[in-house]
Amino acid sequence: MKYIYLMLAALLLASCVQPVTKRTITFTLDAKDLPPGCTAAVRGTDKPLSWKQDTPMQYDSITGHYRLTVEIATGFRFTEYKYVVNGRFEFPDGESRKVVFDEQEKITLADTFDTR
């Protein structure tokens, strides 16, 4: 009987796991209102992003935007992130930005620092 309960528990736990989907996200930050030569980065929920350290963005002088492309693998239908410029978080006391995923595997975001 104990064996049956263990088997049922294992089946229930296995069925609770959400399928993992790979997403490619390109973060684009408009630099027109940012100081020249500043540093820009992204922090967020899903690896390779982290809330503990910056993931640096690259500046494109032709477009005037900072850009970062990452691939995440998540079982959630969304991810959260914030931009960091010169070590300062946007919306320091506010909610993070949120991307809700649809069927597309590649997502491009176009944001302005500290503006929703």
pTM greater than the 0.85 cutoff: no
Res 103: pLDDT = 83
pLDDT per position as a tens digit, 94-115: 999 999 988 888 999 999 999 9
pLDDT over 70 (residue 4): no
**Exposed/middle/buried for 37, CB within 10 Å: 0-12, 13-18, 19+?**
exposed
Cα 69 from chain centroid?
10
pLDDT per position as a tens digit, 56-76: 999 999 999 999 999 998 888
CATH number of 19-112: 2.60.40.10
Domain segments of the chain: what residues? 19-112
